[in-house]
Each structure stands twice: as structure tokens, then as C-alpha cells.
Chain A
């Protein structure tokens, strides 16, 4: 049985169902409204597994699911770019969002990452601690800033309402996902002109480490044809 990890709620779940649906693979939640289980029609030997989008990368890397739909940002954050455990099968054309760095709009002297680096050096001298950047994407942000040679910053963890951290005094800048930028503007923040860390999109992934039995491979061939992707096995 091929297990497909599918986001368990919200817009991402609905868009995923729609994407599979127009390709003849009908997915829906089954049972009571609050029960996390689902069914697939249109092909035998495939079972959906409803999971939090954030857990799908780990499940793929552990081989507990064969396929999974989740954002490229979450996979890169959890497994690192160039992870060997997973392979991208298709970009799904929804769930687009950018991971960006934003600073207070009143920082008229900071327009680029280069400016942020210089401001961080001066900030540390004045305030005695490194400039704080609030984020939940620790690995992606750190890798980006390391590659750019930025110093004198620290990452502080923020699992939600990250745009509010500057006003609340727990960070000087933020790195977060945005689609329209409206929340940033409402919180008096501005994106650095070269502060795009990752352009995220919903992606169908395959696990390279899952147990692909003979019959799983046969089902996958058929499924790949229906979905218009190449088979990973």
C-alpha cells in the first residue's frame, strides 16, 4: 500500500485534494468531521495519511510514508537543501509564499543584507548583545546569512505572530513567510531588497528510503501516469 502524506487541514488540504482530483485521484476526508482519516478513489493500493504539513518532511525522511505533499520551505528547513532522502516529483502551483528578512520601516539606513550586517555590528557595540532576528526557520535563515557572511546577529525562536516581535521588544528584525506582505506593512516592517531567502511552493515529494514493495512499484507506475509525473522507483 502506497501511503501519501496529505496536509490535514485548511487551504493546503483543499488545494491538494483538488490537484489530485482533476487528475482522476479523488481524495477526501472520511468519517466524522474532526476525525483525521481519508480515502482515495480512482486507484487501488493508495492510502492517504492526514498529517500536519510540518510533520510530513520528517515522515518522508523516515520512510514512514511513500509520498507527501508539503511546502518546499518546510522540507528545506527540516531536512536541509539537497536532502538525499526525498525527491521532488512535481511543483503543485499553490501554497506560494516567500521566506524573507524584514526590518523596521524606520530603519532608513538599511535596505540590503549588507546594510543589515553593518547595522548589526554597530548595534552590538551599543546594546551589548547581538542583533536579534525572530524566526521559526532557523536552518534556512542561518544558512542564508552564513553564505552572505553576516555576523553579530542571533536567531530567537518565534513560532507565531513573528511580525509582532519587533514592536514587542523581543527582536530587532524578523525572518518569516509572507505572501502579500500586508501583515508586514501593518506591523511597520519592510522587506530587505535582497532579503529573499526561499521561494516556497507546495510540492509532491517521494521518499527514497520508504519500503517500496513490488506491488507498490506497480501502483506507483500507474499513479505517476495519472498524475503526469515520472515514477520515483
Chain B
């Protein structure tokens, strides 16, 4: 068999296993409307996805990911609960010299189920573990939900919490905001100048002084943000103890069972995370029931916090040295709400790269 045929055979084998587990097959278009993906991921996706132009359909992208079209298909036609499996190419531009493939097969499994989300998390993880057994992979798990709950529970303004939540998948910006809100970073000189100006006169007068008004953003929007900036400058920093807990949480890496003990320990000081920690505990029980050793399972609180992701709960990867993640997945409840135009269903799933599996098995070079 040629390498591509061998990889496809590996993909077919995994797909058959997903169907055996109760999934129905789903097919999606390779050409996806760019608008949906751009609204979801922002311009960053242009650096990763192949964009092409159609005179009739407008900007289109070569499928960079299956999750979005599978969620859309479920929202449009699906009955609940549902389990889907798929196999097909995805396309990603790669950095110069990275040597990574820009076109490769993904085989995936997605669960849309309102009942017992933790059991569904464990079902997906255990299924992947079984299919990847013998490849000597390193599983890593995380839970974005705990981080989000901690931010929501901070004793600060809703505006600050919203700013942090908006950047939860952009660790650099998140950290910069947190440093500022916690009083750990000085107010930038530009912001100080701005505040002095805003305090010196009424925002509307300043706008008038600034000359000809241009642009779609209205004076009312400008005034509203100017007033919010002044109000924020008078907001006390996030308490040092609370901020310390959040920094601690961002860097928490431990075996899952020990991580749970640690999280239980800090919950009295950060009570808002209690429900998320309970869900974490329930998931560990469900994983243990599937035979996963939670005493050794790696847990990293910031796992899955990278750009172009949408996970908001459980996340996992199966890793091997010297290659991209062999498999990865997680829970993306909020994505179904965004794509479902008001409709919403809890969802969890993941993908395996048959090409990497074939390489690890020595089937292809």
C-alpha cells in the first residue's frame, strides 16, 4: 500500500470503531463559508486556514476543522441524544520550515447529550484511550471550566470579569489584564495620560475639541467607554489573596487526583469554583469507573488554552514526543449556543490523526 492508502486504512479502522461505539456517520463539505469561521475565530484563522474566493458563494475556506460543520449539521438535522463519527481531510497552513503536514486526515467522535455530561466526557476519553492503546502515548487532561468559574467568582467588576473571560484562550493578553487588574503591573503611561485628559474635561467636550467627527463608532459609544475607563481607574485592585489563587490555578499541574485535593483545598477561599470542582470530581469518578487511573492521569489547569480553540470544560490530548498531538478533544457547550442561534446542547468530542497513528505503528515512515 502507498503511504496515503495505509493512512486511510488506519482511519477507516478507527472510524469503524467509532461506529461500533454507537456513532452515526456524518459527512461535511470541504469548502466551508469563511464568514462563520471568521466570526468564531477572528482574523487569526486566516493565518491557519486556506481561504479561497468563489464568485457566487463569496469567501470560502478549505475545512480547517470538523467540529464547526458537525455542530451545524446536528443543529440543523439532528435528533437528541446523538453520537457522530467522521473521517476526512482537514487543511492547515503551517509555519515555514515546521515540516508539519498542511493536509491530513482526521477521524472524530462527537457526543451531543444533555444527560450526565461527566459520563460523556469519560466515555469519549476512555474510547480514545482504548483505540490508542499500545502506542505508548502520554495523556494530558485539563478543565477550562474551573478557570472560567474562578474568573466569574472574582470580587471585582463585571466589566473586568468580562474582559478576562473574553481573553481566556489568549494567555498572553489574559495575563496582561490580570496583572493590571491585580495591581501587579503599573498602569501604562498612555493610559495615565488618557485618564488625566478624561478627568480634565467632559468626554463630549473632548470629542468636540478633537475636531471633525468621522467613523461609524458614535459619540455615545466613545463617551460610554471613556466613563467606564474613569470608573475602572477608581476600582480597587483584585485582592492580593484572590489574585494569588488565580495565578496558582493558572499554573496548576498535578496528577488528577492530587489536583482535585488541591482544588478542594482552595475552594473555601474561592467559593465560586465549587460547582466546577464538583463536576471535576464527578468526571474523575466516571473516568475511574472506565478503568482510568486518576492517581497518575496528568492534569494541567491551563491545558487547551491556545488560540483557535473553543473548549470550555474538560479537555484532553494524547501526546507523543516529536510530533503534534496524536489525538485531542474536549467539551464545547458554548460553541453549540453560538452556532445554534439560541439553541444549545452540551457537547464533547475529539479527533485522532490516523497519519500519526500509522507512523507510530511503523506502517508509514
Question: A interface vs B, CB < 8 Å?
Answer: 80, 82-84, 104-109, 111-112, 114-115, 117-119, 121-123, 126-127, 130, 138-139, 142-143, 145-155, 166-167, 169, 172, 187-188, 193-194
Q: Which of B211-230 contact A (CB under 8 A)?
A: 211-217, 219, 221-222, 224-226, 229
Given contacts A106-B210, A154-B38, A143 and B47 within 8 Å (CB-CB): yes
| 12 cross-chain CB contacts under 8 A | A84-B97, A106-B207, A107-B217, A108-B194, A108-B197, A112-B190, A123-B221, A130-B42, A151-B167, A154-B38, A167-B214, A172-B216
Please give me the residue from chain B that is nearest to A152 by CB atom. B42
CB within 8 Å for A145 and B225 given contacts A82-B96, A108-B206, A118-B163? no
Question: Which residues on the B side are within 8 Å of A109 (C-beta)?
Answer: 194, 198, 203, 222, 225-226, 229
Which B residue sits closest to A170, measured CB to CB?
B216
Q: Is the CB of A188 within 8 A of B211?
A: yes
**Residues of chain B with a CB closer than 8 A to A172's CB:** 215-217
**8 closest A-B pairs by CB:** A149-B173, A149-B170, A109-B226, A109-B225, A193-B190, A106-B210, A112-B190, A111-B190
Candidate in A142, A143, A151 with the most chain B CB atoms within 10 angstroms = A151
**B188: interface (CB < 8 Å):** yes
- When C-beta atoms are compared, the residue in chain B nearest to A126 turns out to be B221
> Once the chains bind, are A154 and B43 in contact (CB under 8 Å)?
yes
Query: What is the interface of chain B mostly: helix, strand, loop, or mixed?
Result: helix
**Bound state CA distance, A121 and B167, in angstroms?**
11
Contact indicator A112/B42 (Cβ below 8 Å): no
The answer for the CA separation of A150 and B97 in the assembled complex, in Å, is: 26
Residues of B within 8 A of A126 (CB): 221
Q: Are A112 and B191 in contact (CB under 8 A)?
A: yes
Query: What's the nearest-Cβ distance from chain B to residue A101, in Å?
Result: 13
Bound complex: CA of A129 vs CA of B97, how far in Å? 35
Contacting pair A108 B96 (CB below 8 A)? no
The one of B42, B167, B174, B198 in contact with A108, judged by C-beta atoms closer than 8 angstroms, is: B198
A166 pairs with B188, CB closer than 8 A: no
CB contacts (< 8 Å) of A84 on chain B: these are 96-97
Interface string of B200-212 (1 = CB under 8 A from A): 0001001100111
Contact of B197 with A105 in the complex, beta carbons under 8 Å: no
**Residue from A80, A193, A194 with most neighbouring chain B CB atoms (10 Å):** A193
Also in contact, A151 and B210, with CB within 8 A (given A80-B96, A142-B47, A166-B215): no
B217 touches A104 (CB 8 A): yes
Judge whether A145 and B43 touch: CB under 8 Å: yes
B158 in contact (CB, < 8 A):
no
**Contact for B225 among A122, A151, A154, CB less than 8 A:** A122
A188 to B210, CA, bound (A): 9
- A192 to B172 CA separation, bound complex (whole angstroms): 20
Cβ-neighbour of A117 out of B44, B173, B211 (below 8 A): B173
* Most chain A beta-carbon contacts within 10 A, residue among B43, B193, B212, B217: B217
CB pair B42–A151 under 8 Å, yes or no, is: yes
- Indicate if B321 sits at the interface (CB-CB under 8 A): no
